[in-house]
């Protein structure tokens, strides 16, 4: 799946970017994150919760986000994807 396919989820006119540093990630990283989110929604297997936690921790570290609460991992990652699309398109 190409990131171009998820362009429809972000309307740059209505979205306020929260994580400008998301552009430090590669497009393939965001495509991977999107596929994990989609698989979790589709299969609802507990292992995806652990994977999402690991992804969140890695992204928070890589983007140098401090004191971030990842209690809602899916919302955090979806917001990152939308921010990326808005900032790079």
Sequence spans of domains, the chain: 19-88
Q: pLDDT tens for residues 20-76?
A: 999 999 999 999 999 999 999 888 788 999 999 999 999 999 999 887 777 899 999
**Contact of 15 with 86, CB cutoff 8 Å:** yes
Q: Which residue has the higher pLDDT, 89 or 60?
A: 60
Q: How many CB atoms lie within 10 A of CB 19?
A: 19
- Please report, for residues 17, 50, 60, the alpha-carbon distance to residue 74 in angstroms, rounded to integers and kept in the order given: 17, 12, 14
According to the model, what pLDDT value does residue 85 have? Answer: 86
- The SS3 of residue 11 is coil
Taking only the tens place, the pLDDT of each residue in 2-13 is 555 555 555 556
Residue-level pLDDT at 4: 59
């Amino acid at each position: 799946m190409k990131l171009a396919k998820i362009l429809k989820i972000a309307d740059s006119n209505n979205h306020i970017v929260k994580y400008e540093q998301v552009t430090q990630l590669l497009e393939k990283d965001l495509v991977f994150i999107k596929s994990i989110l989609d698989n979790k929604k589709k299969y609802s297997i507990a292992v995806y919760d652990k994977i999402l936690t690991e992804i969140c921790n890695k992204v928070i570290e890589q983007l140098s986000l401090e004191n971030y609460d990842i209690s809602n991992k899916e919302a955090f990652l979806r917001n990152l994807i939308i921010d990326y699309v808005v900032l790079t398109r």
